[in-house]
Chains A and B, each alone.
Chain A
Amino acid sequence: MPDPSTAEAAPPRYIEALNRALTDAMEADGAVTLMGVDIGAGGGAYGVTRGLYERFGAGRVLDTPIAEAGVLGAAVGAAMAGLRPVAEIMYVDFITVCLDPIVNQAAKLRYMTGGGVRVPIVFRTQSGAGRSGGAQHSQSLEGLLAHIPGLDVYCPADGRDAYDLTRAAIDADHPVCLIENRRLYGKRHPGWERDPLPPGKARVVRDGDDVTVVTWGRMVHETLDAVAAMEGGASVEVIDLRTLVPLDVETVRASVARTGRCLVVHEAVEQFGPGGEIVAQIAEHALFDLDGPVRRYGALASPVPYSPGLEAAMLPGSDGIAAAITAVLEH
């Protein structure tokens, strides 16, 4: 594997890090095979797979018809029979048309066969609300996937993790849902020279003593913006979970034990969202370290509206995060 942390002038964009990770993984292992709608000659709806079709050919970069249930089912079969498929679902919202191969097949086959098969498969997809994509192109469904035993769920927040978590997902011998954020695609993030972290290790993005904010994906950046804009000098620790499954409870617990206060922020709908699990973990492992209630801050329980003002009212943003941090601190 080429050393991705070779010093460079500017860090690669998030999308370039993804492309590089796919390229390197395909170079490293001839079994890695991409499949998805328009990922070939078209380079992908957002250009993540650009150049791979030309480089690796139609046999390893499979442009598929719009038949996600069939494609993912075939990917499951191919995985059991020796390939390492990376199957793209163009928007995470579209997993609803192909949940069976994800939930009832890929996630369960190793278990149901008593360890008899391996299903080394990556479901690559992306989310990213806030640009009027409408109710069927704007959801954050990582919690829905994380609920299914047998699926790992990775949500990279910057270029370093986009590379490392993609490589880790492809290397894993079990199914992984890799959920990119399209609003990060064009961004260059500092930290490219960081050492790679494995899945299941959270990262403390910002140290602090008064309150812990646990988040992931694009909300890491919204949280940092919120903290930067906050007055009053509260000392806020920000943790990027990086992967929901496996979940790094220990990093969260240790931080909360020190700060005594915690807010969980996510782009997904708050009601029955992944924040509930994290809050429950804190209640189970750090209740007596708390100085006040743990809070969640996510999207309102509504389909994502199209009109920009409504969408802004529905989604979490940096102003709301700042207010929520203040509320947690003041309780």
Chain B
Amino acid sequence: MGADSSEGPAVADAGAPSRPGVVDPPGAPVHARPGDLERLLGRYGTMARIRAFEEAVGRRFRDGDIHGFVHTSIGQEAAATGACAALRDGDYLTTTHRGHGHCLAKGADATAMMAELFGRETGTCRGRGGSMHLAQADLGILGANGIVGAGIPIAVGAALAARSAGAGAVAVAFFGEGAVHSGAFHEGIGLSVAWQVPVIFACENNHYAEFTPSEGSWNGPSLVDRAASYGMTAISVDGNDVFAVEDAMSELVAAARAGEGPAFVELRTYRMGGHYEGDATPYRADDEVERWRSADPLARARAALEPLGALDRADALDAAAAAEIEAAVDEALAAPYPDPASVLENIRA
């Protein structure tokens, strides 16, 4: 099974790699079908919110309002948006150091997230976690993570619990392609197959792990072949096409809900920014970044909206996202810091 089967072989889209290991971007607009207008606008709105959030994070980091390490997902909005569009409230997800988009797309409140990044008491984790540890249990967001790979088996466990609960919930583990070398990935994926639990491994392949081009570091079969060898459905999708992601995820999620076990999906994308805020990216060529800019997930959604005469509505969504995030920043900046006397709260239940 492959949502991508119409597009041909699994990994490579088109064209020769620009340099060893870095795949060229896809070019086509989002695969919209007649009748998709409202859905596409909905997805566009979510992507615009993530984009606005991440851009504000970059600015606020430079202004010193955000501390420590922060990683943004500009360029990867379609992966988070399309994947979470296939989920319900009761579903679980785990994510990574690059998890703002997943949290927003799963329904987390931008103001509470921003407050968390600012270290405020009103943050999703009362300022204890920060960007790398965003979490919101009532939305099924079991946490971003500072340890590469750590969220993968956690999602497997959530899926085990979801199956016991019997309500048809699933779990999604979002992770980067850099995590596929970790023991946590292989042990988690192996367990999921052994247990046949409803978990989707959503691997956002943005082609870099920190400063290292990833294709060069696996030197062997594609991600999909590797995952498939464990005995599960494994597909590769154009991760900058929000509908391609949503369609693929919907199919995999439906199968998981129906008891057909785990699945793996590679979402091919690109991180437009540095690994972390402040990373000058000396390790990659400007022209590579520019080529991927032409495959920007929001631009591709707009290209599909244009013939539908809906660009003005997209503009309105951009404006609404900008206003929402600006208000979130203002409100979060006005929120109090935690009382230092509360530092020992919640160490144990």
Interface residues of A (CB under 8 A from B): 37-38, 41-42, 45, 63, 65-70, 93-94, 96-97, 131-137, 300-303, 305-310, 312-314
CB-CB nearest in chain A for B218: A65
Q: At the interface, is chain A mostly helix, strand, loop or mixed?
A: loop
Question: Which of B43-51, B178-186, B315-323 touches A?
Answer: B178-186
Point out the residues of chain B lying under 8 angstroms from A306, CB to CB.
Answer: 67-68, 119, 125, 127-130, 133
Point out the residues of chain A lying under 8 angstroms from B342, CB to CB.
Answer: 310
Flag if B130 contacts A132 (CB, 8 Å).
yes
Cα distance, A133 to B276, chains bound together (Å): 13
Point out the residues of chain B lying under 8 angstroms from A314, CB to CB.
Answer: 343
In the assembled complex, how far is the CB of residue A88 from the closest CB belonging to chain B, in whole angstroms?
Answer: 13
Flag if B212 contacts A310 (CB, 8 Å).
no
Within 8 A of A (CB), among B130-151: 130-133, 145-150
Q: Does B211 contact A (CB under 8 A)?
A: yes
Cα distance, A131 to B133, chains bound together (Å): 15
Point out the residues of chain B lying under 8 angstroms from A42, CB to CB.
Answer: 210-212, 283
Q: Does B56 contact A (CB under 8 A)?
A: no
Within 8 A of A (CB), among B96-144: 119-120, 125, 127-133
Flag if A132 contacts B217 (CB, 8 Å).
no
Cα distance, A122 to B150, chains bound together (Å): 25
Cα distance, A306 to B144, chains bound together (Å): 14
Point out the residues of chain B lying under 8 angstroms from A45, CB to CB.
Answer: 210
Cα distance, A45 to B278, chains bound together (Å): 13
Point out the residues of chain A lying under 8 angstroms from B347, CB to CB.
Answer: 301-303
Q: At the interface, is chain B mostly helix, strand, loop or mixed?
A: loop
B344's partner among A41, A135, A300 (CB-CB below 8 A) is A300
Flag if A134 contacts B340 (CB, 8 Å).
no
Cα distance, A307 to B147, chains bound together (Å): 19
Point out the residues of chain A lying under 8 angstroms from B132, CB to CB.
Answer: 134, 136-137
Decide yes or no: A305 and B128 within 8 Å by CB, A131-B67, A133-B68, A310-B340 being known contacts: yes
Flag if B179 contacts A66 (CB, 8 Å).
yes
Q: Does B209 contact A (CB under 8 A)?
A: yes
Flag if A307 contacts B182 (CB, 8 Å).
no
Flag if A305 contacts B343 (CB, 8 Å).
yes
Point out the residues of chain A lying under 8 angstroms from B69, CB to CB.
Answer: 133-134, 137
Q: Does B230 contact A (CB under 8 A)?
A: no
Decide yes or no: A134 and B68 within 8 Å by CB, A42-B211, A306-B129, A306-B130 being known contacts: yes
Cα distance, A37 to B147, chains bound together (Å): 13
In the assembled complex, how far is the CB of residue A270 from the closest CB belonging to chain B, in whole angstroms?
Answer: 13
Flag if B67 contacts A308 (CB, 8 Å).
yes
A sample of 16 more A-B contacts (CB under 8 A), given A96-B147, A300-B343, A306-B129, is A38-B212, A42-B211, A42-B283, A63-B217, A65-B209, A97-B184, A132-B130, A134-B129, A135-B129, A302-B343, A306-B67, A306-B68, A307-B130, A309-B338, A310-B343, A313-B343
Cα distance, A96 to B211, chains bound together (Å): 23
In the assembled complex, how far is the CB of residue B245 from the closest CB belonging to chain A, in whole angstroms?
Answer: 24
Q: What count of chain B residues pass the 8 Å CB interface test?
A: 40
Cα distance, A68 to B148, chains bound together (Å): 10
Query: 0/1 per residue, B309-349, Cβ < 8 Å to A?
Result: 00000000000000000000000000001101111100100
Cα distance, A314 to B344, chains bound together (Å): 9
In the assembled complex, how far is the CB of residue B86 from the closest CB belonging to chain A, in whole angstroms?
Answer: 27
Flag if B343 contacts A132 (CB, 8 Å).
no
Query: 0/1 per residue, B197-218, Cβ < 8 Å to A?
Result: 0000000000001111000011
A67's partner among B67, B146, B181 (CB-CB below 8 A) is B181
In the assembled complex, how far is the CB of residue B97 from the closest CB belonging to chain A, in whole angstroms?
Answer: 10
A41's partner among B119, B127, B145, B283 (CB-CB below 8 A) is B283
Point out the residues of chain A lying under 8 angstroms from B183, CB to CB.
Answer: 67, 69-70, 97
B182's partner among A67, A96, A301 (CB-CB below 8 A) is A67
CB-CB nearest in chain A for B128: A305
Flag if A41 contacts B212 (CB, 8 Å).
yes
Decide yes or no: A65 and B119 within 8 Å by CB, A305-B127, A305-B343, A306-B68 being known contacts: no
Cα distance, A308 to B119, chains bound together (Å): 7
CB-CB nearest in chain A for B67: A132
Point out the residues of chain B lying under 8 angstroms from A133, CB to CB.
Answer: 68-69
Point out the residues of chain B lying under 8 angstroms from A135, CB to CB.
Answer: 128-129, 133, 146
Flag if A65 contacts B178 (CB, 8 Å).
yes
Decide yes or no: A63 and B212 within 8 Å by CB, A133-B68, A309-B337 being known contacts: yes
Pairs across A and B, CB under 8 Å, 5 listed: A38-B209, A137-B68, A301-B347, A305-B127, A312-B340
Cα distance, A191 to B342, chains bound together (Å): 41
In the assembled complex, how far is the CB of residue A200 from the closest CB belonging to chain B, in whole angstroms?
Answer: 33
Residue from the set A69, A96, A135, A305 with the largest chain B CB neighbour count within 10 Å:
A305
Point out the residues of chain B lying under 8 angstroms from A308, CB to CB.
Answer: 67, 119, 337
Query: 0/1 per residue, B266-300, Cβ < 8 Å to A?
Result: 00000000000000000100000000000000000
Flag if A307 contacts B338 (CB, 8 Å).
yes
In the assembled complex, how far is the CB of residue B156 from the closest CB belonging to chain A, in whole angstroms?
Answer: 16
Flag if B149 contacts A97 (CB, 8 Å).
yes
Point out the residues of chain A lying under 8 angstroms from B341, CB to CB.
Answer: 313
Flag if A66 contacts B182 (CB, 8 Å).
yes
In the assembled complex, how far is the CB of residue A189 from the closest CB belonging to chain B, in whole angstroms?
Answer: 25
Flag if A66 contacts B148 (CB, 8 Å).
yes
In the assembled complex, how far is the CB of residue A279 from the closest CB belonging to chain B, in whole angstroms?
Answer: 23
Cα distance, A285 to B130, chains bound together (Å): 45
Cα distance, A48 to B343, chains bound together (Å): 34
Point out the residues of chain A lying under 8 angstroms from B340, CB to CB.
Answer: 309-310, 312-313
In the assembled complex, how far is the CB of residue A316 from the closest CB belonging to chain B, in whole angstroms?
Answer: 13
Flag if A136 contacts B147 (CB, 8 Å).
yes
Point out the residues of chain A lying under 8 angstroms from B217, CB to CB.
Answer: 63, 65
B128's partner among A65, A136, A307 (CB-CB below 8 A) is A307
Point out the residues of chain B lying under 8 angstroms from A301, CB to CB.
Answer: 344, 347
B338's partner among A70, A137, A310 (CB-CB below 8 A) is A310
